[in-house]
Amino acid sequence: MPLPVFAMMLCTFCIGTAESVVAGILPAIARDAGVSLTAVGMLISVYALAVVLLGPFVTAVTARFRRSLLMPGMMGVFVLGNALAALAPGFGWLVAGRVTSAVVHSTLIAAFVATARDMAPADRRAAWGAKVTLGIGLSSVAGVPAGTLIGNAFGWRATFWALAALSLAAALLLTLSTVPDAPPPPAAAPAATASHGKTAAGGPRGGAADRGARGWFGAADRKAGGWFGAADRGARGWFGAAGPMLLVALVIVLGTGGVFALYTYASPYLTGSAGFGPRAVTVLLLLYGAGGIAGNTAGGRAADRFPRRTVLVTLGAATAGLLLLGLPVTGKWAVAGLFCLLGAAYFATIPALNTQMVAAAGPSSPTMALTVNNSAFCVGIALGSWLGGVLLAHGRAVPSVAAAGAALTAAALLLALATPGRRRRSGAADRERDGTVRAGRSDPAVTGRPR
């Protein structure tokens, strides 16, 4: 794994751990801060709300920043948020620390995935993006349990200090890596050449002279028309892509909501309905995370070739798993296997949905598209948790939560079936978008990869 991709995966691991680790140290925070468990639980809701509401705004404001400066700088803000939480003299300061970390959550993950995709060979974009999001799966397997153990042994503040220290190390590793800047929108070059009577067929495969002319005239056009031209292209691009992106976002919300309706209440399901002991719950959640790691890797490879089919197959598998978990339990081994299947199916869906969201955005910023993508996942998590809580509050049995989750993932599957597929762009088109010509190997100055 290239150093920049490993550094971004480590950063994503820290972000994923920070998002969910509060659940493991919730009672300790409540005792120390003198507030109710419900109030501490709001730390998770406030974090998710900040991600959804502020993420797209932060991405838009920082869209012109160089990635080599943007990503380490935002990791610095993330470190600051965790340090503020660790030092919080009261509950209000703890909320402030969580919001500070959440502000950069969506933009960082989107920038990491977009950067990994830009560094990848044209036929491995989803797989390289999946290497970055693997950090989220690892945070479920190792990050949250480790943070809980640290909090129980040394106090909840130690958990945030450990997160701050690891995040700082990941940020420093990121500064030592060479990452490509975001490629310019592909609409800029044709506009510039057309205004001077040029065409892309001006020479063999575009011709060196034609590329040079396009470069000079494009630079002049950006300097003269710059901000207004970019704003106009961005507005036209986003308004044109809004419909397809909304459909993909709805698939994400429904699919994620279905899985998290049960996952949020996995502990009462496993102990109350499936008959497992409390110690076995940790093992089964680790099994869920292990399935997620395998699914994320396999889903990334499949999404490079068949993104739409991958979404359909994985949503179908998640629906089947939730339906079976909603039936009367026939054996503990069956429940363990279904939990592993559910984790694999959910995490295998992520790379394919990332690919579909970027494709739906068209020539618009992939970083903004992936920010919207991440916000949709957060909304889905909140929807699933809310749905499960409502059912349990009205006296429903825990298996009914799994059945309700299956209804949501089935709705996501039907919507994905009804959504027209988009043809995968050819490798040449991908190279045109990147502004690079990969003749067997890429220019390391652009991609940050050695020859």
Q: Given pLDDT bands bounded at 50, 70 and 90, which one contains residue 81?
A: very high
Distance CA 422, CA 129 (A): 19
Which residue blocks in 67-143 are alpha helix, DSSP H?
Answer: 67-87, 91-103, 105-119, 125-138
pLDDT at residue 181 in the model: 66
Q: Which helix (H) or strand (E) holds 225?
A: helix 208-263
Which comes out higher in pLDDT, residue 375 or 344?
Answer: 344
Residues 439, 290: contact at Cβ < 8 Å? no
pLDDT at 253 over 60: yes
pLDDT at 425 over 60: no
Percent of the chain with pLDDT over 70: 76
Most confident listed range (35-44, 344-353, 360-369, 384-393): 344-353
Residue in 156, 148, 159 with CA at minimum distance from that of residue 24: 148
pTM: 0.67
Residue for token pair 């698939």: 251
> Percent helix, strand and coil across the chain, each rounded to 5?
80, 0, 20
Residues 132, 124: contact at Cβ < 8 Å? no
Distance CA 401, CA 269 (A): 9
Structure tokens at 17: 């751990």
Ramachandran angles phi, psi of 439, nearest 5°: -100, 75
Distance CA 78, CA 1 (A): 24
CA dihedral for 173, 152, 85, 369, sign (positive or negative):
positive
Residues 71, 14: contact at Cβ < 8 Å? no
The chain-wide mean pLDDT, for the chain, equals 76
pLDDT at residue 430 in the model: 43
pLDDT at residue 255 in the model: 92
pLDDT at residue 182 in the model: 62
Distances (CA, A) of 284 to 148, 277, 290, 383: 16, 11, 10, 23
Distance CA 56, CA 61 (A): 9
Measured at the alpha carbon of residue 32, what is the angle toward residues 26 and 33, in degrees to the nearest 5?
85
pLDDT in tens, 436-449: 333 333 333 333 33
Provide the Cα torsion 49, 52, 56, 57; round to 10°: -20
pLDDT in tens, 7-26: 888 999 999 898 878 877 87
pLDDT at 303 over 60: yes
Residue for token pair 């006296």: 395
Distance CA 259, CA 255 (A): 7
Distance CA 72, CA 170 (A): 9
Residues 276, 401: contact at Cβ < 8 Å? no
Distances (CA, A) of 213 to 60, 199, 200, 427, 428: 30, 11, 11, 24, 21
Distance CA 206, CA 212 (A): 10
Residues 107, 371: contact at Cβ < 8 Å? yes
Q: Given pLDDT bands bounded at 50, 70 and 90, which one contains residue 93?
A: very high
pLDDT at 158 over 90: yes
Q: Of 70-84, 368-382, 430-444, which gets the smallest average pLDDT?
A: 430-444
Distance CA 63, CA 73 (A): 14
Distances (CA, A) of 198 to 214, 326, 434: 8, 63, 21
Q: What is the mean pLDDT of residues 160-182?
A: 86
pLDDT at 128 over 50: yes
Q: What is the mean pLDDT of residues 80-93?
A: 93
pLDDT in tens, 191-250: 433 343 333 334 443 444 444 444 434 444 444 344 334 434 444 444 445 677 788 889
pLDDT at residue 180 in the model: 63
